[in-house]
Structure 1
Amino acid sequence: MKFKTIPVIIGTLSCVLVGSAAFAAVSTFAGPHEDGTAVTSIGMRVTPTGQQTSLGDLPLNSAISPDGKRLAVTNNGQGTQSLQLVDLADHEVDQTISYKSPESLYMGLAWSPDGTKLYASAAANSKIRTYGYSGGKLAEGAPIQLPTTTPAGKAVNLFPAGLAITPDGKRLVVADQLADAVSVVDLATGNVSTTPAGHRPLSVAVSPDGTTAFVTNQGASDISAVDITGAEPKVSRTVTVGLHPNKSVLSKGGHTLYVANGDDDTVSVVDTAAGTSTNISVAPEKGAPVGTNPTGLALDEAGHRLFVSNSGNNDVAVVDLAQKAVAGVVPVGWYPSSLAFSDGTLHVTNAKGLGAGPNNGPGHPNPESTAPAAENQYSGSMIVGTLSSFSVPEGGQLQKATEQVKNNNRPDTAGGNIIPRQPGQESPIKHVIYVVKENRTYDQVLGSLGKGNGDPSLNLFGDESAPNMRALSKKFTTIDNFYADAEVSANGWNWVASANSNPYAEQMWPANYSGRKAPYPSEGNAPEIAAQQPDNTYVWQRLAKAGVSFRNYGFYVSNNAGTFNAADPVLDAQTDHNYHGYDLNCPDSAGSFAPLKPGCGTPRIEEWANDFQSQVTSGTVPTVQFVRLPNDHTQATRVGAPTPKAYVADNDYALGKLVDTVSHSSAWKDTAIFVTEDDAQNGPDHVDAHRTLALAISPYTQTGKVDSTFYSTASMVRTIGLIAGIGPLTQFDAFATPMNASFTAKPDNTPYTALKPSYDMTTVNGANAPMAPQVATQDTATEDKIDEQLFNKSIWQSVNGADSKMPEPQHSVIGSGSSSQLAAKDPDG
């Protein structure tokens, strides 16, 4: 598929009916648009330059064949991974070689110097795939097997990432990402020699004389220079660069190494002889918060210009190396991940292409089913990567491109009388409660609400099982254009807590979710996960530094013999250690299902309420509270576990009790409760797979109106930060629209009384539950170790019957726009 891009068109497209309400559709929705542009889940516009070619799921790297005719692309997503060959003459994909889990690919690609062979890393399989290349086609041969045990016999997971071949074609250098090591393969004998390197090595570049391999250590702030001349490789020098270096490229003579620093928004210029480095900023402006997230690099033939794929800004920076500064930027697709330059043309892989769009077709995710959803319906695997190919603009054309990027990424600085415009300004809201639940779409719970942009045919949880979520949405503000900034929980919890998900997490979560032996890249204090410095990444760390009080109930905790502790000491110091973390065997609220295992202690919301009441009594209610309510995740149709509706009812009742407790307290008059899901992966939505639930509950939001402003997770993080008095964490929450349109200057202090779901919350799945045998094989002990596609189908059948069919696809293009919705944007009502 090929398509050319045209400028973003903003305006009314049509009027269509959804359910019983009509909406004027405008292009303020997330996902691909018919004009070849898109809007990301955060709200940034995507207007890719040049020729566009559709690729596979999450293309993370590319390499041009020595003859310049083919581009090899490795697609490393959660679903079917693949190796593709793109003909650079006509921009068509000529060949796709697919691998289903547990078979794998990863980021490493290297052509032999004579162009007859291609090597690709297969991280989960501890091997390097080899292909013969002839007649424009690849043929897979015998792999190079890497060690799976140490010399002492201990099991090891090398997880090969970046690859580079020596100029003589005799040796292959491998970055062993999860083993903190580097391997050198003798291609004649197959002998493998391995040596320790830095933390989480990612990419490799080999010097022109073949003596040194330069390895970026993605989990640190340095690169390793590895001497590969001897029988055993050894690190000869470590050079400091920016935080979390990604890919690198060597100058033609090998005197300079350029390194993309993913969480520093810089490119390091390393003098390979002296072992020193300087940095070039690729941030959009001086003083901008982190978020550009540079990943890939390429040089032009003359070595005068360096190209940088800025995954966070959806652009490619053109760096004038004589001036050591960015000359301009060019818009490309969503999340550019790698670059290749040949014959005057730059080729850019865009890992997220034009985004997701709706996922309400046959085989969509269904929390009451355990059958796999189709890969093109699951948020974690449905996004099609793209390739943007173009001649790099210069002069006035480059400046026009730069302006386009600025317009695409221009932040919304609007505020109002309730949400401050800047941190530190006065607001009648003095306390914030931030509630995060697990994995629901808007349509699953509010599709049949009767107001807002819902699809009733997709509504699974109605007044019987989610009465409070629905009543609160009606009574306060119906927020119907809110998107999770993540595809799954592994990057969702990064967005929830830090308004970013860095390149390490984005590269690693698909392998984790698909059983390809990667770690879970979230909810920890590992340095590679922190999108900035480990002590300065998360919202609670910023609150602590600003002297703002907070309290934690379940965020980022683990179970330590019945006591719940956070690895981050800053968070742990303010954590209720009796509040149960993620564990689907323990209830969110009292009076629902019986604990499925001993040690659950007090139900979550009762533990929170006891703590909150003591704070009210003592006048010590903190400025910000973090509350995790996970049980709407469900265990699908697992025999003996609560049914999906029972789980959702338990979760919903807990939320209702929280609002009831706050609204009947003295803190109600100056409190705002923000509620969302960490992601929307467990269900379908007729607008976009990222669209999810959001509530803003306060005397200042008790309007009954619909707010169709484009919001996302980052909007909620920004709004909380503005109220609490801290600045943006990253470029993403600095960009995101604060949720002022949900508020009014006229408070209504009427308290809320929780509704008990009519669905019996003690109901459990019987042996005849739909797809129970398949569900029984799934691991629900920790977040998202399950086959989400399987779970979603079983949940659908649990609610609608074992013989029920998924709704047919709908192709309506819906955004905000009815007069009643637009009226909701008036903060004074």
Structure 2
Amino acid sequence: MKKVKVSKKLIATTLATLLLGSGTAFAAYNVVAGPQANDTGVTPLGWTVTPAGKQLSLGDKPWGGAISPDQQYLVVSNDGEGPQSLQVVDIKQQKVIQTISYKSPESLFLGVAFSPDGKKLYASAGGNQKIRVYNFDNGSLTEQSPILMKDQNNTDFNPAGITVSPDGKFLYTANNLNKSVSRIDLATGQISATIAVGKDPYMVLLSHDGNSLYVSNWGESSVSVLDTKSFTVKNTISVGLHPNALAANPVNGLIYVANSDSDEISVVDSQSQQVVQTISLAPYRNAPTGSTPDALAVSQDGKTLYVANAGNNDIAVVDLGDGEGHTEAKVKGLIPTAWYPTGVFPSGDGKQLMVLNAKGLGAGPNPKHTFNLWTPESQYIGSLVQGTMSFIDIPDNKQLKEYTKQVEDNNKVYKADGEQKGDKVSPIPQFAGQQSPIKHVIYVIKENRTYDQVFGDMGKGNGDPSLTLFGKDVTPNLHKLANQFVLLDNFYSNGETSSPGHEWVTAAQSNDYSEKGWPADYSGRRADMDVDAIQTKEGRIWANAKRSGVSFRDYGEYINWWSSYDKTKGWTPDDPSIGNNYDANYAGWDINTTDMTRYNEWEKEFKQFDQNGNLPQLETVYLPDDHTAFTAPGKRTPQAYVATNDYALGKLVDTVSHSKYWKDTAIVVTEDDPQDGPDHVSALRTEALVISPYTQTGKVDSTLYSQVSMVRTVEMILGMKPMTQFDAAAIPMLNAFTNHPNFKSYSVEQPKYPLDQLNGQPGPVAIQSSPASDLDKPDSGSADKHNRELWKAIKGDQPYPESKK
């Protein structure tokens, strides 16, 4: 990725990405994230995806696949949150010729393997604790009785990667939730042995002689090597962080390991069982992590390694030299893919690559959003984005050079020129040594709303009032804040749901483990995820603050999400890097604790800081009430939850603005994700605010920003380095700020809806005066199905389903 200098004036008008074939730059304020013309797309980061070759539509989250022994078919495992499926792709015809679908709790997860004769196909069923078995005949799958993975202890194996022995007698499974590998006797269909390996095993790979089995331990930094005859662990090899994909060189037997969170390939000598070389995949010198390699393939001549970089949306073409391991390998060039490539398969004749792209061209609008995950019409963001497959001719040197330039153009790194006007320094530092007049940042994280759900009725900016469910009658403070400060109408979530969403807002990345784990978790197909495996190399924003000498305090974010609340200890962090910098009396995720209770606890400490003059430079504050409990009996109504959230945020801003810290503080606010609502622009567009004397302008800023732009802006203000390639490349929120601060304080608006209103109680129906009142009209056509369902549920006409946080 290139570093490009962009002036403050131009950063709003120039998004330095090019549409494939058009050669025309387009303006950041005119671009929305999602599918574009000419089979291109724009990610929430503002990066363009311009996939090479012919594109074929697939299902939801194609994580795995396998080519048939006769090289005629590729079978894809689609493992998303909605309906999962196996799809058979005819390689010559370049089309899907069969789809077998599974609704939750029936599942698939990652692993696909053929028998050596090609007559059987096996697929991991993840949380179903079984291996699916199919007869395969002339491109057609017929499901047979599965292999049940059961033992006396009812072990939660959750099989992931699988492989079949060269003689076809045994199948080996990486048991992702059991820190083990099992050997299954295919003649009996029974587990013959299970052996412990490292954390969260992902993939298994047999050596060419079948005597060694390599296992990538996704949750740590190791590869286990098993002796297949004795079925014992004969070696554990240290590699990079969170290894996933494995591949073997057909010529010299070298083993390649993709290290997803250190952006490198470990080359293992199969004889010495040692790492003999490490291949960097960094897109530029000293780049932070983020390339996220997650799939590998080696050419038949052993001279080229193909690496799917999920984070950079490309295939790295690695020159392996003489194919004997004597020459140092290096990246020769890059091939552009669609969003988040997850598989790469050379054709049998070596003339073509087939690439799986988990997120295709991204998410478009979802005005008909519902929570019925099992229909294509649901437009629920968790299952809305469909995968694709690219058929790419192997490029010659000239074409590879052009492709590489295209990838660099797609993934620009922005670096703004410094700008000073007289003695007024920009509040966002734009060059080394510049100091911001803002010394403190309060980073507020909320739950699950789209832009249109809240701000569609603003009367300015790009909103659709017919999709507004929690408008000005429920959220008077959000509306007042957006009017008094700055309205951000082109701001996106980088993740689809809360699990990856909280990683994006705190770590500027959702790693491969997070991305591939949450769909099964959210759809009830597996147990909760490994909190340690979600951790990226540089950690979260509080770890960055600690490295940077920035004082910080956490209120509720990453507090008792993955662990149980202990009354004797109070609320405690799940991330050790938070240390003691948290308030044990401030609640984490708990739908029964109101945001006003949270605010009152925060206020106690803030007043002490204000009195003592020791406010931390960074505070993270979790206010999750806008998630709501829907219409659960005995809980507050959805409007009461959202109104409480609105009031708590308004009180927080009021408190800060009447303190001595107002003059040098910024309050940034974002949702963790947009999963609970519709939007007419993009299913990933979400609510966000930037509140400070330096943003009190009343303007609309339509620059394309995302959660990572907000993280980068916080880092720039506080003098912190980027944590990943994504915040390093993010467009900073320069246009939301001004050099002319307005120090007028903010006065909180009192709630217009009773905060204690319970479901089932008679009382006011919210937002009767809002433009969304046409939800009462059965044939209005302008209101989406999801909002209509929630509207009816609010009035007691029907129940409403719950969703994950």
After TM superposition, the score normalised by the length of structure 1 is 0.87
Task: For 2:799 and 2:125, locate their aligned partners in 1 and report how far apart those are by CA, in whole Å.
Answer: 39
- Residue 331 of structure 1 corresponds to 336
Deviation of residue 519 (structure 1)? 1.6
Alignment of 1:398-547 (within 5 A): 398-414=400-416, 417-422=426-431, 424-520=433-529, 524=531, 526=532, 528-532=533-537, 536-547=538-549
- Residue 293 of structure 2 corresponds to 294
- Residue 720 of structure 1 corresponds to 714
Q: State the SS of the aligned residue for 2:283.
A: coil
Deviation of residue 638 (structure 1)? 1.1
Unaligned runs of 5+ in 1: 13-23, 590-602, 770-788, 806-829
Deviation of residue 371 (structure 1)? 9.8
Per-residue Cα deviation, 1:488-527 (whole angstroms, up to 9, x for no partner) = 0010111111000111111110000000013246xx4x1x
Task: For 1:672 and 1:300, locate their aligned partners in 2 and report how far apart those are by CA, in whole Å.
Answer: 53
Per-residue Cα deviation, 1:42-69 (whole angstroms, up to 9, x for no partner) = 1110000001000000001111111111
Task: For 1:264 and 1:758, locate their aligned partners in 2 and report how far apart those are by CA, in whole Å.
Answer: 50
Choose from 545, 565, 568 the match for 2:575.
568
Task: For 2:714 and 2:626, locate their aligned partners in 1 and report how far apart those are by CA, in whole Å.
Answer: 23
Q: Aligned pair in 2 of structure 1 residues 26, 656: CA closer, same or farther (>3 Å)?
A: closer
- Residue 711 of structure 1 corresponds to 705
- Residue 62 of structure 1 corresponds to 65
- One-letter code aligned to 1:654: A
Choose from 236, 260, 263 the match for 2:261.
263
Deviation of residue 154 (structure 1)? 3.1
Deviation of residue 207 (structure 1)? 1.4
Task: For 1:420 and 1:407, locate their aligned partners in 2 and report how far apart those are by CA, in whole Å.
Answer: 25
Per-residue Cα deviation, 1:726-767 (whole angstroms, up to 9, x for no partner) = 110000001111111100000100000000121121211118
Deviation of residue 414 (structure 1)? 2.2
- Residue 792 of structure 2 corresponds to 797
CA contact (8 A) 1:345 1:391 kept: yes
- One-letter code aligned to 1:696: V
Choose from 105, 112, 127 the match for 2:115.
112
CA contact (8 A) 1:242 1:268 kept: yes
Q: Aligned pair in 2 of structure 1 residues 403, 796: CA closer, same or farther (>3 Å)?
A: farther
Q: State the SS of the aligned residue for 2:679.
A: coil
Deviation of residue 376 (structure 1)? 4.3
Q: Aligned pair in 2 of structure 1 residues 760, 9: CA closer, same or farther (>3 Å)?
A: farther
Alignment of 1:672-691 (within 5 A): 672-691=666-685
Aligned pair 1:222/2:216, yes or no? no
Spell out structure 1 runs of 4+ moving beyond 6 A. 370-373, 789-793
Choose from 122, 125, 134 the match for 1:122.
125
Q: State the SS of the aligned residue for 2:340.
A: strand
- One-letter code aligned to 1:476: F
Choose from 128, 134, 137 the match for 2:137.
134
Deviation of residue 209 (structure 1)? 1.6
- Residue 7 of structure 1 corresponds to 21
Q: Output the aligned Cα RMSD.
A: 2.2
Residue range with higher mean Cα deviation, 469-478 or 580-589: 580-589
CA contact (8 A) 2:445 2:621 kept: yes
Residue range with higher mean Cα deviation, 760-769 or 57-66: 760-769
- Residue 148 of structure 2 corresponds to 145
Q: State the SS of the aligned residue for 1:407.
A: helix
Deviation of residue 170 (structure 1)? 1.2
CA contact (8 A) 2:29 2:703 kept: no
- One-letter code aligned to 2:154: A
Residue range with higher mean Cα deviation, 388-397 or 409-418: 409-418
Q: State the SS of the aligned residue for 2:534.
A: coil
Per-residue Cα deviation, 1:554-577 (whole angstroms, up to 9, x for no partner) = 111123217111133331411011
- One-letter code aligned to 1:213: L
Q: Aligned pair in 2 of structure 1 residues 373, 801: CA closer, same or farther (>3 Å)?
A: farther
Choose from 93, 98, 117 the match for 1:95.
98
CA contact (8 A) 2:449 2:677 kept: yes
Task: For 1:545 and 1:77, locate their aligned partners in 2 and report how far apart those are by CA, in whole Å.
Answer: 36
Task: For 1:372 and 1:47, locate their aligned partners in 2 and report how far apart those are by CA, in whole Å.
Answer: 30
Q: State the SS of the aligned residue for 1:380.
A: helix
Task: For 1:330 and 1:517, locate their aligned partners in 2 and report how far apart those are by CA, in whole Å.
Answer: 34
Task: For 1:331 and 1:371, locate their aligned partners in 2 and report how far apart those are by CA, in whole Å.
Answer: 31
Q: Aligned pair in 2 of structure 1 residues 26, 71: CA closer, same or farther (>3 Å)?
A: farther
Aligned pair 1:696/2:690, yes or no? yes
Alignment of 1:614-629 (within 5 A): 614-629=608-623
Deviation of residue 654 (structure 1)? 0.2
* Percentage identity across paired residues of the two chains: 48
Task: For 2:559 and 2:798, locate their aligned partners in 1 and report how far apart those are by CA, in whole Å.
Answer: 40
Deviation of residue 9 (structure 1)? 6.7
Task: For 2:434 and 2:730, locate their aligned partners in 1 and report how far apart those are by CA, in whole Å.
Answer: 19
- One-letter code aligned to 2:791: W
Q: State the SS of the aligned residue for 2:382.
A: coil
- Residue 45 of structure 1 corresponds to 48
- One-letter code aligned to 2:510: S
Q: State the SS of the aligned residue for 1:657.
A: helix
Deviation of residue 539 (structure 1)? 1.0
Choose from 609, 628, 641 the match for 1:647.
641
Alignment of 1:305-320 (within 5 A): 305-320=304-319
Task: For 1:647 and 1:374, locate their aligned partners in 2 and report how far apart those are by CA, in whole Å.
Answer: 30
- Residue 251 of structure 1 corresponds to 249
CA contact (8 A) 1:300 1:306 kept: yes
Aligned length: 740
- One-letter code aligned to 2:435: E
Per-residue Cα deviation, 1:295-317 (whole angstroms, up to 9, x for no partner) = 00011121110000000000000
Task: For 1:414 and 1:801, locate their aligned partners in 2 and report how far apart those are by CA, in whole Å.
Answer: 53
Per-residue Cα deviation, 1:397-430 (whole angstroms, up to 9, x for no partner) = 1111001000100012226511112465211111
Q: Aligned pair in 2 of structure 1 residues 371, 163: CA closer, same or farther (>3 Å)?
A: closer
- Residue 240 of structure 1 corresponds to 238
- Residue 767 of structure 2 corresponds to none
Choose from 378, 382, 385 the match for 2:384.
382
Q: Aligned pair in 2 of structure 1 residues 529, 371: CA closer, same or farther (>3 Å)?
A: closer
Per-residue Cα deviation, 1:709-729 (whole angstroms, up to 9, x for no partner) = 110011011110111111100
- Residue 577 of structure 1 corresponds to 584
- Residue 204 of structure 1 corresponds to 204
- Residue 7 of structure 2 corresponds to none
Q: Aligned pair in 2 of structure 1 residues 296, 452: CA closer, same or farther (>3 Å)?
A: same
Deviation of residue 10 (structure 1)? 5.0
- Residue 75 of structure 1 corresponds to 78
Q: Aligned pair in 2 of structure 1 residues 671, 648: CA closer, same or farther (>3 Å)?
A: same
Task: For 2:316 and 2:795, locate their aligned partners in 1 and report how far apart those are by CA, in whole Å.
Answer: 51
Deviation of residue 25 (structure 1)? 11
Q: State the SS of the aligned residue for 2:381.
A: coil
- One-letter code aligned to 2:382: G
Alignment of 1:773-812 (within 5 A): 794-798=789-793, 802=797
Per-residue Cα deviation, 1:460-499 (whole angstroms, up to 9, x for no partner) = 1112110111110011000110001000001011111100
- One-letter code aligned to 1:554: G
Deviation of residue 212 (structure 1)? 1.3
- One-letter code aligned to 1:206: L
Task: For 1:247 and 1:61, locate their aligned partners in 2 and report how far apart those are by CA, in whole Å.
Answer: 10
- Residue 750 of structure 1 corresponds to 744
Deviation of residue 639 (structure 1)? 1.6
Task: For 1:739 and 1:204, locate their aligned partners in 2 and report how far apart those are by CA, in whole Å.
Answer: 44
CA contact (8 A) 2:83 2:374 kept: no
Task: For 1:375 and 1:75, locate their aligned partners in 2 and report how far apart those are by CA, in whole Å.
Answer: 18
Q: Aligned pair in 2 of structure 1 residues 530, 332: CA closer, same or farther (>3 Å)?
A: same
Task: For 1:372 and 1:77, locate their aligned partners in 2 and report how far apart those are by CA, in whole Å.
Answer: 11
Deviation of residue 135 (structure 1)? 2.4
CA contact (8 A) 2:552 2:617 kept: yes
CA contact (8 A) 1:164 1:205 kept: yes
Q: Aligned pair in 2 of structure 1 residues 373, 752: CA closer, same or farther (>3 Å)?
A: farther
Unaligned runs of 5+ in 2: 1-18, 322-327, 420-425, 764-783, 801-805
- One-letter code aligned to 2:337: V
